[in-house]
Amino acid sequence: MKILVTGGAGFIGSALIRFLRARQLAEVVNVDALTYAGNPESLPGLDMDPGYWFEKVDIRDRAALERVFRDHRPDAVMHLAAESHVDRSILGPEVFVDTNVVGTQNLLAVAREYGSSLDDRSDGPAAAPAATGQAYPLPPGPAVASPRERFRFHHISTDEVYGDLPLEAPAFTESTPYAPSSPYAASKAASDHLVRAWHRTYGLPVVVTNCSNNYGPYQFPEKLIPLMILNAMAGKPLPLYGDGGQIRDWLHVEDHAEALWVVLQRGEVGRTYNIGGDAERTNRQVVEAICDMLDARRGQAAGGGSGSHRDLIQYVADRPGHDRRYAIDSRRIQSELGWRPAHSFEAGLRETIQWYIDHPQWVQRVQSGAYREWIEANYAGRETTSASIGRG
């Protein structure tokens, strides 16, 4: 099997490719434009892997996409390429619409044309999909499957499309109405609707997944967990929006990668699967856990201080339209496909902190001048609140 992965040099995409190639589950064509968050160093050793190809292509370039499909003839598409940072979408929404909506439409159009060109004759009984290493065996494929019947378009999306979840409300299910709050979430919601429309109108064989907040190794340090880990290690302030009470469900990126593979192999065409980590935490709880774990490792705050890393916490003005809570109900993927997260949040966070400690060169290279300029633009103008420094 050969899979075309878009955005494969990004955080989740690179985790998916590492998962697929480490287990020899599929050959991979990585299509990535290598924007600021795309990093080939997140795919160590794959430049010498005969089952891996890299194509520096922007999904907004339809002609380039057509050439990639023509050259590589994939059996499936796993679409992760997207602008994904809410704060960036607030400061500059145009690129989110351009990439996440127009880029997805380009990919759908090319995939539809390509899928229609595939042979609709069977080439023999389908082999059983490879096992993933967890406790659920994958069943054999259909008795007869043609290349056209096997082709899949897997669209990877976010729980942010569902909008703000009241504190007392049950978690998001696959039937929760969309109510996006940020330009990022709105652009992803639009791309989800396009994918489902291509299935309904044109018969494109799609599956859709919506995931909760991911964390783990190789995450670009504009996101909450790596930002707080690296700031704490450097003795810098830990800026928390508002009162830090925003609730998110946290999913380890390696669990997510396995879930994506299971959905591609076993998911029902036209169906949506929510993927979560069963780990709701407030942002404040997450940051305090990072501080406590670093305290336990080093005994005191970075920068020569004698107190806790919690003393670095600084509450800053909230961002516009900040959703208070997200939570994922993963019962469909668990009951229908047998997947469950393998990482507890505490163990996964501890491993993530250790990874950033062990990889200072990777961190140094991604913290470029452009990254520093972004941090300055996003945080420097935010006033601290009355609950400011040292609250923990």
Ranges of the chain with pLDDT below 70 = 123-144, 299-306, 369-392
In the 8-state DSSP scheme, what is residue 121? S
Q: Based on the residue annotation, tell me whether 184 is a catalytic residue of this protein.
A: yes
How many CB atoms within 10 Å of residue 223?
18
Q: According to the model, what pLDDT value does residue 305 have? A: 55
For residue 127, what are its two tokens? 């082999």
Q: Which of 56, 15, 10, 64 lies closest to 37 in space, CA to CA?
A: 10
**Is residue 159 annotated as part of the catalytic site, yes or no?**
yes
**Pairwise CA distance, residues 35 & 283, whole Å:** 27
Q: Which of 149, 160, 254, 323 is catalytic?
A: 160
User: Annotated catalytic, 119?
Assistant: no
Of 184, 241, 273, 356, the catalytic one is: 184
Domains of the chain: residue spans and CATH: 2-216+249-281+324-345 (3.40.50.720)
Q: Say what the pLDDT of residue 370 is.
A: 58
Pairing of strands 247-252, 280-282: antiparallel
Q: What is the distance between the terminal CA atoms of the chain, rounded to a whole angstrom?
A: 50
pLDDT at 307: 83
Per-residue model confidence (pLDDT) at position 37: 78
How far apart (Å, rounded) are the C-alpha atoms in residues 244 and 241?
6
- Tokens matching residue 167: 């504190």
What is the C-alpha separation between 376 and 355, in angstroms, rounded? 25
Helix (H, G, I), strand (E, B) or coil at 248: strand
Catalytic residue, from 32, 83, 149, 159: name it.
Answer: 159
